[in-house]
Amino acid sequence: MVKTKRLDFISMGQAMLVHFVTDEPGKIPAIRAMLEPEHRVVAQLLGTGEANTDSNSVLMVDADLRVSVRVEQIKLLMRKLRSITERLFVVQSHLQHMVAQAYALGATGVLRSSREIVPKLAQMEILARAAAQAQPSAEAAEIADSAKAFAAMFAAIKRGKPIDLSDAENATSQIVNYVETNGLSAWLDDVRKYHEGTFQHCLLVTGVAVGFALDIGFKGADVKRLGLAATLHDVGKAHIPLSILDKPGRLDPDEEQTMRRHPVIGYELLEDLPGVSPEVLDGVRHHHEYLDGSGYPDALKAPQIPDLVRLLTISDIFAALVETRSYKPPKSRQDAYNILCGMDQKLERPLVKAFRRVALAA
């Protein structure tokens, strides 16, 4: 909690706020000269004024701890400022024996001279950033696990190793649990915050497909089957160059042709793997087919396209439209849904209608 709060004010690019408390007015200009304008300083003379301050600030106390009246004033102050988590006391080196007193008063750190505040703040910034990266929220950690499974799957394929189906199944189960517990909107928001490119796409498609399956009343095994098809639907992209996958803007005809190979590549990677169901294989190979026969790679027509594939195709298109890419703004969920509605000959109308609840749910 504390680390998240601190991250907030660092990540907004704001200066740190230092609440400086001293018993010597002459020390205030010196602190201001050291820290401003890079940081903000709120100065308070011990025993005077209100102690209100932002709990995100850093408390710095520079007072003579040998004087009992000062100690009493500090005790009072610390009770009012207990929400501040970083409390630094200046204890001059010749008063080394006062260090214990500082900690007894609630210090979280001791500075040997007031000048040490400058490197201390820099160090705190670095630590806060590292801690924030190392300790994402529980939800972000769950997404990170799923993303890791995707990354491992793609890396293995690139190295010519077979896909580990249990990894894909675990990633799918994690996403099913997340969407069941937190809802699809939370999944969409969080994935788009933390991931990019193909991994973001795979995470989004799987979340959307799972949300769709749950919404239309699929039961456990069917939700997992559609989820697994979504998890694996673009594995063939592991063999498509990144220059094409991440190209900003439209692909030229040659690049488009290369890109269009990914469903067959994915199918070939999976077809001999024990335990992959025909429905999942179908989803991987045919998620770019359209009911009117204009899709690829096999230009299937409506009767040849199973229901699971139709659900997957809708989820795939929707996820691609709401993705965040560095070079284009994402479509809103409403705009993305409107585009699906305009693909009347290609997608099954009743399914698109049913998808409305999933697409637009808050």
State the residues that interact with Fe ion by CB under 5 A. 234, 316
**C-beta closer to Fe ion: residue 190 or 316:** 316
Q: DSSP for 137-195? A: -HHHHHHHHHHHHHHHHHHHHHTTPPP-HHHHHHHHHHHHHHHHHH-HHHHHHHHHHH-
Cα angle for residues 235, 237, 238 (degrees, 5° grid): 75
Chain-centroid distance of CA 184 in Å reads: 15
Residue whose CB is less far from Fe ion, 42 or 264? 264
Between CA 169 and CA 150 the distance in angstroms is 11
Coil, helix or strand at residue 79: helix
Q: Maximum Cα–Cα distance for the chain, whole Å?
A: 90
Kindly report the length of the chain.
362
Q: Which is nearer to Fe ion, 65 or 209 (CB)?
A: 209
Cβ pair 226, 209 in contact under 8 A: yes
Report the alpha-carbon distance of residue 67 to residue 63 in Å, rounded: 9
Q: Minimum CB separation from Fe ion for residue 112, in Å?
A: 59
Query: Is the CB of residue 157 less than 8 Å from the CB of residue 238?
Result: yes
Find the shortest distance in angstroms from Cβ 266 to Fe ion: 8
- Which CB sits closer to Fe ion, 234 or 279? 234
Residue among 55 and 294 whose Cβ is closer to Fe ion: 294
Closer of 74 and 171 to Fe ion (Cβ): 171
What strands, in cross-sheet order, belong to the sheet with 17-22? 40-45, 17-22, 58-62, 86-90, 109-111
Least distance from C-beta 123 to Fe ion, angstroms? Answer: 44
Minimum CB separation of residue 316 from Fe ion in Å reads 4
265: nearest Cα among 249, 287, 250: 287
Give me the least distance between CB of 202 and Fe ion, in Å please: 7
Termini Cα distance of the chain = 26
CB of residue 246 to Fe ion, shortest distance in Å: 14
Euclidean distance between CA atoms 287 and 274, whole angstroms:
21
Q: What burial class does residue 13 get, using C-beta atoms within 10 Å of its C-beta: 0-12 exposed, 13-18 middle, 19+ buried? A: exposed
CA pair distance 28, 78, nearest whole angstrom: 19
Closest contact distance (angstroms) between CB of 206 and Fe ion is 10
Cβ nearer to Fe ion, comparing 68 with 327: 327
Q: 21 vs 245, which CB is nearer to Fe ion?
A: 245
Closest contact distance (angstroms) between CB of 237 and Fe ion is 7
